[in-house]
A and B are shown apart, each in its own frame.
Chain A
Amino acid sequence: MESRIEQLLTKYWDGETSLQEEEELKAYFKANPSLTPTGMYFRGVNKTAEEVSARQFRKPGDWFARSRWTVAATIVIGVLVGTMILRDTGKKNDFEITDPEQAYAIAQTVLSKMSTSLNKGQAPATQLKKISQAEELIKEQQL
């Protein structure tokens, strides 16, 4: 075995080993760790090989297919958003008040109207609250 490894090592340093022979050498030094320069060298080689094997490669085809879908989705979304923005802008321009004074007057009028109407709705609730508070007060005094 030793002579076989020595032969393989001679071939290895001459750069004449096959992949299978290199695997054989790596396996031998993994199973028989040694502190000789050759042993330390193969220890490094095995360690590097382990690190490299942890890497994952993706098929370029998958990435390309996924990228195509992303581009298609982006275009569709872009067109939808663009259409909606243009449609909305068109609507705004139809009745949009551009004179600040006029806009302010309208805002005041509309908000006052909304406010008055809101208060009309809240008035009965406020009265009920007052009645309920009065009832509680009477109960407290009776106790």
Chain B
Amino acid sequence: MKKVTTLAVALFLAIGAMAQGEVVSKYFDRFSGNEDYVKASISSKMFSLFTELEAGSEEEQEFLEAISKLKGMKVLYGDSVANSSKMYKEGISDVQKAGFEELMTVLDAEENFHFAIKEKSGVISELIMVSGGKKGFGIMSLYGEIDLKNISRIARNMNVQGLSGLDKLDDSEN
């Protein structure tokens, strides 16, 4: 009986670990053949490689520290989506259904953002951002051990505007 209990616990832990990034994965499946969306997944192995990099500047050092405890990232983004506001609402609903807790919603003239987290014992294990503008829609997930202060600090140090960098990925993939 003990064995069964142990195995059941192991199964639930495995499911829990694999469930990370699951919301975005569903969007990957849904839009797998749709070229309007850029999709990217960065594994925990890749994040562990980043931690071995030597920082060239103080800003880079802070960035590497901020991502040191991350285990993965999944992104789906499209900048010319026909029904972006519907997608945005749908995205928020999917995130809520997946058991995420709302962190904040930012209503901006150009783009709205919805942040939600999964938290256990004071540790944030996943952060999801759903974005929706006039034409754009995006859903991105960070998982691992997330420190919001560190994430918040990144923008102050780095000069990367918007998600235009992802367009390059689209070109290189095609």
When distances are taken between beta carbons in the complex, the residues of chain B under 8 Å from A116 are 155
When distances are taken between beta carbons in the complex, the residues of chain B under 8 Å from A92 are 41, 43
B151 lies within 8 A of A114 (CB): yes
Interchain CB contact (< 8 A) of A106 among B1, B127, B131, B166: B166
B15 lies within 8 A of A97 (CB): no
B4 lies within 8 A of A73 (CB): yes
Report the Cα distance A86→B107, complex, angstroms.
Answer: 40
Report the Cα distance A85→B41, complex, angstroms.
Answer: 16
B75 lies within 8 A of A85 (CB): no
B18 lies within 8 A of A121 (CB): no
Interchain CB contact (< 8 A) of B140 among A74, A102, A110: A110
When distances are taken between beta carbons in the complex, the residues of chain B under 8 Å from A119 are 152, 155-156
Report the Cα distance A105→B75, complex, angstroms.
Answer: 13
Residue B108, interface by CB 8 Å: yes
Q: Mark B135-154, 1 if CB is under 8 A from A, else 0.
A: 00000101000001001111
Number of chain A interface residues as a range = 35 or more
Report the Cα distance A73→B11, complex, angstroms.
Answer: 11
B7 lies within 8 A of A94 (CB): no
Q: Mark A68-99, 1 if CB is under 8 A from B, else 0.
A: 01100110010011001100100110111100
Residue A132, interface by CB 8 Å: no
Report the Cα distance A97→B11, complex, angstroms.
Answer: 28
Check A100/B14 contact, CB under 8 A, given A106-B40, A112-B155, A119-B155: no
CB-CB contacts below 8 Å: B37-86 with A: 39-43, 46-47, 49-50, 53, 63, 66-67, 73-75
Can you list 7 residue pairs at the A/B interface with Cβ under 8 Å? A91-B41, A94-B39, A113-B140, A114-B142, A115-B156, A118-B148, A118-B152
Q: Which residues of B contact A (CB under 8 A)?
A: 1, 3-4, 7-8, 10-11, 14-15, 18, 25, 28-29, 32, 39-43, 46-47, 49-50, 53, 63, 66-67, 73-75, 104-106, 108, 113, 115, 127, 129, 131, 140, 142, 148, 151-156, 158, 160, 162-166, 168-169, 172
